[in-house]
Structure 1
Amino acid sequence: MPRAIWKGAISFGLVYVPIEVFPATQSEHTGFNLLDKRSLDPVGYQQINKRTGKPIKREDIVRGYEYEKGAYVVMSDEEIDAASPEQTQTVDILGFVEAAQVSFLYLDTPYWLAPDKRAGKTYALLRDALAASGKIGIANVVLHSRQHLAALVAAGPALALQTLRWSTEVRDIDEIQGLPKSAKAAGVSAGELNMAKKLIDDMSTTWDPASYHDTYRDAILALADRKVREGKAHEIMPVEHAEAPSRSADIVDLSELLKRSLGQRKGGAGEEEAPRAKPAAKRGRKAA
């Protein structure tokens, strides 16, 4: 079972649903480490001045933002930290939209959400209410010290959090030149269109992700396995890092807060806001 990378709560009206965030994907990138061929020791890298080619000390390195080609402004670590989003430890739901309205172009990284040990009821209620509505929650969340737009999705027995790209990160289709307005305008005949539709129908199948494979990775793994069996393997001990302990958010009664949240929505801005349950105290940064 993967380890939780983040603990906090879903903020829903006046309700906090304590949750743990787990990676929903795992990388199967076939990468290679650089080794010294004489001793098979790992090869590191040296920080150098790209203009002079000379090594540079760590204390002489600063962060620069390139605002124009070749032109930089220097920012200190303190200035960057001051601009960083606050570690709120909450998935703040901004609203709910029809799932079909969110284009797949905006989808980024998925995560599984699991309830805190005390939050099974509130978790199940939110999950099933989302599934019945056919909608997804649009939320703000800070993960790995970066603010993300995200979608809260009912995914079978679980809630999933799908980080989304910001609108400025998705290029406007108008930037792409040469797109035909229609098949007919491109000179496609009705017969050709019908044949293409029939070919699609003939090749239609049920989505089964396990039936597709990364053949390059399979070949590399097979090659590595053969070399191991031939006695050509060399072991390098990894460096282990300790992980800081974490805290979860407090749980509150869902039914009461749902009633008060709905009462506020009906009463309008003129009514006094009910006290809001607080999430857990801020935690320091934690590596995934």
Structure 2
Amino acid sequence: MASRGFWKGYLKLSLVTCPVAMTPATGEAEKIRFHTLNRATGNRVEGIYIDAESGRRVDDDDQARGYEREPGNYVVIEDDELDAVALESTRTIDIDTFVRADSIEWLWYDKPHFLMPDDPVGEEAFAVIREAMAVTGTVGLSRLVMYRRERPVMLEPRERGIVLWTLHYADELRAPEGYFEDIDGKADPDLVGLVSRLIDRRTRDWDRTLVHDPLQENLRALIEEKKKRRRPTKARRGRGGGETPTNVVDITAALKKSLAAEEARKRPGK
């Protein structure tokens, strides 16, 4: 059974409340991680805080949060002061607004989490909220303290559960204006047709294997070779891993060659 220990609280809509559990929809437990070692001794290296002026070590009890109001001058903020200004949205997801599901652009999305009922008694209330959003084509907006800060969140119905997305704050997301204006928006219709044909030949149904991480596979192979005390072989370049062309003289000719290569690759016996 999937883990449900990341977060537990309540989902609330007006007077309807049900206990829920949440777990991240993404994870890095399978990722290979490295420790920093002392090459001379082989021992792990510890990270410690050092006073920038005196060079002395600073104990945990003496570490404080500071906001730099001017160079070298800080305002110290204590933990109880942070607690006093924080909202109390630590254990309740109170949906206060709904918007059309297709009205939030993907740029606003941050991290996905699986939200599910945490008590059989609350499953009906959970299902009603989920299905009502699905029927109306809406998603719910709320706020929640996660990862030690308050975040805007979006609740999206998905199959029998709900996907809770943390969203970027408005001041975190840069507007595209100012980045794209200088790009020439014109495109040759004939070239668009050639690229469309190339896209058509490379289009397939989505599958999670399309976004696998080859670096992790190469690292595991390298580590296994190290374990056997053999000299690691040089990693082979994957498809598309060659040198980047510095200049394309004739884009039409290049596209036609690409289409011919695609057709040849898909012929029987290839």
Q: TM-score range by the shorter chain?
A: 0.7 to 0.9
Q: 101, 122, 127: which one pairs with 1:124?
A: 127
Summarize the alignment of residues 9-48 of structure 1 with structure 2, pairs less than 5 Å apart. 9-27=10-28, 28-48=30-50
Aligned residue number for residue 210 of structure 1: 209
CA distance in 2 between counterparts of 1:14 and 1:78 reads 32
Aligned residue number for residue 200 of structure 1: 199
State the Cα deviation string for residues 74-100 of structure 1 (Å, max 9, x = none): 222222222222244111112211111
Describe the shift of the 1:123–1:87 C-alpha distance in structure 2 as closer, same or farther (beyond 3 A): closer
Summarize the alignment of residues 124-273 of structure 1 with structure 2, pairs less than 5 Å apart. 124-176=127-179, 179-180=182-183, 182=185, 184=186, 188-228=187-227
Query: Identical aligned pairs, as a percentage?
Result: 30
Summarize the alignment of residues 38-77 of structure 1 with structure 2, pairs less than 5 Å apart. 38-67=40-69, 71-77=73-79
Describe the shift of the 1:145–1:57 C-alpha distance in structure 2 as closer, same or farther (beyond 3 A): closer
Describe the shift of the 1:199–1:71 C-alpha distance in structure 2 as closer, same or farther (beyond 3 A): farther
1:103 aligns with 2:105: yes
What is the TM-score with the length of structure 2 in the denominator?
Answer: 0.75
Aligned to 1:110, what secondary structure does the other structure show? Answer: strand
CA distance in 2 between counterparts of 1:88 and 1:69 reads 35
Counting matched residue pairs gives 227
CA distance in 2 between counterparts of 1:168 and 1:114 reads 30
TM superposition shift of 1:21: 0.9
Aligned to 1:119, what secondary structure does the other structure show? Answer: helix
CA distance in 2 between counterparts of 1:55 and 1:146 reads 28
Consecutive unaligned residues of structure 1, counting only runs of 5 or more, are: 232-288
- Matched AA of 1:160: V
TM superposition shift of 1:181: 5.5
Aligned to 2:212, what secondary structure does the other structure show? Answer: coil
CA distance in 1 between counterparts of 2:204 and 2:62 reads 58
Contact 2:11 2:94 in 1 (8 A): yes
TM superposition shift of 1:19: 0.6
Aligned to 1:167, what secondary structure does the other structure show? Answer: coil
CA distance in 1 between counterparts of 2:182 and 2:71 reads 31
TM superposition shift of 1:23: 1.6
CA distance in 1 between counterparts of 2:174 and 2:21 reads 33
- Matched AA of 2:19: P
Consecutive unaligned residues of structure 2, counting only runs of 5 or more, are: 231-270
TM superposition shift of 1:2: 2.1
CA distance in 2 between counterparts of 1:207 and 1:144 reads 31
Describe the shift of the 1:211–1:174 C-alpha distance in structure 2 as closer, same or farther (beyond 3 A): closer
- Matched AA of 1:109: K
Aligned residue number for residue 91 of structure 2: 89
- Larger RCO (CA within 8 A; separation ≥ 6): 1
TM superposition shift of 1:50: 2.9
